[in-house]
Structure 1
């Protein structure tokens, strides 16, 4: 059995493209996870992506997570609400003066609370100034992301409101996989 998935690729080509969201609710702060931690990154990946079928990194070993997170220009920025992780944005410097938003999203319990726009705004600004923290990566000329029809219902709108422009669309069939959730039985949607 398969499902039809549409993937949209979006980009900004200047820091001036960013249209920041309104201020996040009180008690929300965004902090860079400066110490690479496979355990924490895998927790964020499964907690945010479990109900929207993020599965590509589930088979990654501890060593693969460690190697990826230690690469120059890979950053994880975490939104906390009153001390509890609410979501994250993962940035990855790439060749050609680009930064990809590799992953972005909120833990389901924190969606719909005006945190996502603020986290995306802050993360995109950090993508644009990433070379200041990673000497040798060169100035950033492009920030890009892809989202798909499996992602949250507000994902595409959030990217467009932050100033991203569509540059590519593709549709393909993917095998239907069980929704993993952050742990067995955690998923509540169909």
Structure 2
């Protein structure tokens, strides 16, 4: 059995495109995970994406996670509420001044509380100055990402409100897969 999935690609082509969200109420901090940790990154990936069918990285080995995180120009920024991880954004510098927001999202318990707009604003701002932190990189000329119809209901609206514009839409059939959750049986 298959499902139809629409994937939208969005971009900003100038730092002035960014429209930051207001900071949410409460004790929210956004901190860079400076030590690449496959264990922590896999935790974030499964906790954020488990209910919305993020599966592309589930088959990676520990070494493959480590390689992905250790690439120059790759950064992970984590939102914390009172010391508890709430979500994350993973950035990856690419050729010719592009930076991709590879992963972005919130753990389900933290969604709908205005943390996502703030986290996306901070992550996008960091993407625009990524070259300054990684010597030898071409200055950022474009920040881009993709989202799909399997993502949360507020994802696209958040991207558009932050100043991203649509540049590509694709519709494909994918095999239907159960949401894996952060661990087997977590959502059932």
Aligned partners of 1:50 and 1:187 also within 8 Å: no
Q: RMSD between aligned alpha carbons?
A: 0.6
**Runs of 4+ deviating beyond 4 Å:** none
Q: Paired residue for 1:140?
A: 140
Output the TM-score relative to the length of structure 2.
0.99
Partner of 1:31: 31
For 2:169 and 2:2, how far apart are their aligned partners in 1? 19
Query: Counterpart of 2:187 in 1: which secondary structure?
Result: coil
- 2:39 is aligned with 1:20: no
After superposition, the C-alpha distances for 1:47-73 in whole angstroms (9 at most, x for unaligned) are 000000000000000000011111000
Q: In structure 1, what is the equivalent of residue 47 of structure 2?
A: 47
Gapped regions of structure 1 (runs ≥ 5): none
Task: Please tell me whether the aligned partners of residues 92 and 102 of structure 1 are also in contact (alpha carbons under 8 angstroms).
Answer: yes
Asked if the contact 2:11/2:144 (under 8 Å) is kept, the reply is yes
- Residue 39 of structure 1 deviates from its aligned partner by 0.1
TM-score norm. by structure 1 comes to: 0.98
Alignment of 1:88-99 (within 5 A): 88-99=88-99
* Helix, strand or coil at the partner of 2:96: coil
2:68 is the counterpart of 1:68: yes
Shift of 1:187: 2.0
**SS across alignment from 1:34:** coil
- The gaps in structure 2 that reach 5 residues or longer are none
The 2-side partners of 1:102 and 1:145 are apart by: 6
CA drift at 1:96:
1.7
Q: CA deviation at 1:136?
A: 1.2
